[in-house]
Amino acid sequence: MRIETLLSKFAIKGINYDPLSGGGKALLSAEEQLAVVGLCWHESPVGWLLLFVEGLRDVHALKLLQIATRGETLRLMEDWRGVYPEKALTALCATAIAEATQQNGQVCPECNGSAIVVDKNRNRRKCQCCKVGRIVWTQETRFAYFAQVLPVTYSRFKRYHNVLIMLTGWLLKNRTIVFISLEERLNSEKLAS
């Protein structure tokens, strides 16, 4: 059922929920569902790993994505002037992956995503911390996430910020490649049938 959750993003249905069909009958077997992923995997493995982390909360995929993201971080920092600790790489990877998998922003910790808080008199008020339950990604929120792994000053973080933006862009580009390749595959399959 987990792979079906991911494939549902692409309108690929593994189970038919139509009440007239008796409901719950498989349109695609588990092997066929995995074959759909396998056919497009080579287009962008990083994009698939990102989708597995985002849609399925797959821990194994997260570890592989961290390794790939770390490699890209090292590539982006080849010409870096000055020193940086190993934790900086970990913080950059963690922040970029978090932003790429939560593009609408992080769930607000004050209202737990409801956009409404209750004051001490039990009055319901609009949350002043967020918009619609999410805290959008800004330079400040990236810094707050980054500082959880590597507590540095804001001025020092601004040096890392450019690398972070490029790293997040790289992850999102790989994600887009997966969407485009799957869309092309689906269109060619529809035309063939």
User: What is the residue extent of each domain of the chain?
Assistant: 42-192
Quick one: pLDDT band at residue 43, thresholds 50, 70, 90? confident
Quick one: pLDDT band at residue 42, thresholds 50, 70, 90? confident
Q: What do you get for the CA distance between the two ends of the chain, in Å?
A: 26
Confidence (pLDDT) at 5: 60
Q: What Cα–Cα distance (Å) separates residue 66 from each residue in 48, 110, 127, 150, 181?
A: 13, 29, 33, 16, 23
DSSP 32-60: HHHHHHHHHHTT-HHHHHHHHHHHH--HH
Q: What is the pLDDT of residues 140-154, one digit of tens each?
A: 999 999 999 999 999
- What's the whole-model pTM score? 0.80
Phi, psi of 107 (to 5 degrees): -65, 130
Question: Does 169 score more than 50 pLDDT?
Answer: yes
Long-range contacts of 67-70 (CB under 8 A, 24+ apart): 69/93, 69/96, 69/97, 69/167, 69/171
The residues facing 25 across adjacent strands are 16
Question: Does 10 score more than 60 pLDDT?
Answer: no
Token pair of 11 as six digits: 């309108």
- Which residue is it, tokens 């990083």? 46
Question: Does 1 score more than 50 pLDDT?
Answer: no
What is the mean predicted confidence (pLDDT) over 61-80? 94
- Which residue is it, tokens 């007239």? 20
